[in-house]
């Protein structure tokens, strides 16, 4: 993704809280790199549908994979427009009034039409990118998808062209008259922290360095 972006589209232009908007590619990419799951929303004709799924970013493409029987993935393959959303929750914001309670977060919304990845090499790169997004270094240690698994998996690539980020951070913003109230206000920071890896009971290998490093990173050192 280039750090230079065109002006936001009518759909990505934030109208509520525009000061929290960012259209910078680096800011968008940083959120996508940290997040592990996204939500995909499409219209299936008779009703809207949303599913959560893993994803990965490579270059200016967001890669998604799912079963060839999945209705949402089939709809996207056939040209349905999608809305992808990602949210990182950073804290609970406790104000002096009910109205100004909030959360701190970093979010990205992407609109677009996906294409099916049919090239064998790109499909393998997408598989690798999805695994590497979960645990960097893992793809070199595991069995590659076989032909049947590859045929049963639908891989989609969606360009990150029409996207925006929205970020809230810091303390609550109360009405000026409420600051004199004898009410505690502030933030409860939140973060995702990993517990120690738990081996599969049928495991017959030592825990690899890439898993140890990923655990340490998610555990905060």
pLDDT digits (tens, 9 = 90+) for 86-123: 999 999 999 999 999 999 999 999 999 999 999 999 99
pLDDT of res. 13:
84
Residue 180 clears pLDDT 60, i.e. is over it: yes
The CATH code of the domain that includes 133 is: 2.30.110.10
Do 186 and 154 belong together in one domain? Answer: yes
- Each residue of 197-210: pLDDT tens digit? 999 999 999 999 99
Residue 221 clears pLDDT 90, i.e. is over it: no
- The verdict on residue 10 lying in a domain is no
Do 199 and 176 belong together in one domain? Answer: no
Do 116 and 206 belong together in one domain? Answer: no
Do 112 and 88 belong together in one domain? Answer: yes
Do 116 and 34 belong together in one domain? Answer: yes
* 17 — pLDDT class (breaks 50, 70, 90): confident
Do 69 and 128 belong together in one domain? Answer: yes
The DSSP call for residue 77 is H
**Mean pLDDT over each residue of the chain, to the nearest integer:** 94
- The verdict on residue 3 lying in a domain is no
Instruction: Enter the pTM of the model.
Output: 0.91
φ and ψ at 215, to 5 degrees?
-60, -45
- The verdict on residue 86 lying in a domain is yes
- The verdict on residue 116 lying in a domain is yes
pLDDT of res. 46:
87
- The verdict on residue 91 lying in a domain is yes
Give the residue from 191, 193, 192, 188 showing the smallest Cα distance to 92.
188
- The verdict on residue 117 lying in a domain is yes
- The whole domain housing 148 covers 18-190
- Each residue of 18-74: pLDDT tens digit? 888 899 999 999 999 999 999 999 999 889 999 999 999 999 999 999 999 999 999
Cβ–Cβ under 8 Å, residues 184 and 94: yes
The residue length of the chain stands at 221
Give the residue from 83, 70, 68 showing the smallest Cα distance to 114.
83
How far apart CA 170 and CA 91 sit, in angstroms, is 9
- The verdict on residue 129 lying in a domain is yes
- The verdict on residue 4 lying in a domain is no
Give Dmax (Cα) for the chain.
67
CB neighbour burial string for 164-184, b if at least 16 within 10 angstroms, e if fewer: bbbbbeeebebeeeeeeeeee
**Beta bridge partners of residue 42, listed in sequence order:** 49
pLDDT of res. 12:
85
Do 124 and 208 belong together in one domain? Answer: no
Do 133 and 200 belong together in one domain? Answer: no
Do 185 and 214 belong together in one domain? Answer: no
pLDDT of res. 6:
53
Do 84 and 158 belong together in one domain? Answer: yes
Number of domains in the chain: 2
* 2 — pLDDT class (breaks 50, 70, 90): very low
Do 137 and 217 belong together in one domain? Answer: no
Do 118 and 221 belong together in one domain? Answer: no
């Amino acid at each position: 993704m280039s750090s230079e972006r065109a002006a936001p589209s009518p759909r990505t232009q934030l109208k509520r809280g525009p000061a929290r908007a960012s259209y910078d590619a680096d800011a968008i990419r940083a959120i996508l790199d940290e997040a592990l799951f996204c939500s995909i929303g499409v219209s299936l004709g008779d009703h809207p549908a949303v599913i959560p799924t893993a994803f990965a970013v490579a270059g200016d493409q967001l890669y998604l994979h799912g079963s060839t029987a999945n209705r949402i993935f089939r709809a996207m393959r056939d040209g349905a427009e999608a809305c992808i959303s990602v949210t990182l929750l950073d804290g609970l914001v406790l104000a002096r009034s009910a109205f100004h309670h909030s959360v701190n977060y970093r979010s990205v919304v992407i609109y677009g039409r996906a294409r099916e990845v049919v090239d064998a090499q790109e499909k393998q790169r997408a598989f690798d990118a999805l695994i590497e997004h979960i645990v960097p270094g893992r793809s070199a240690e595991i069995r590659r998808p076989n032909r049947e698994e590859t045929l049963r998996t639908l891989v989609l690539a969606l360009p990150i062209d029409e996207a925006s980020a929205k970020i809230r951070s810091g303390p609550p913003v109360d009405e000026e008259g409420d600051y004199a109230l004898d009410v505690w206000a502030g933030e409860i920071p939140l973060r995702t922290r990993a517990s120690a890896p738990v081996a599969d009971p049928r495991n017959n290998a030592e825990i690899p360095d890439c898993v140890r490093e990923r655990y340490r990173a998610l555990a905060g050192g």
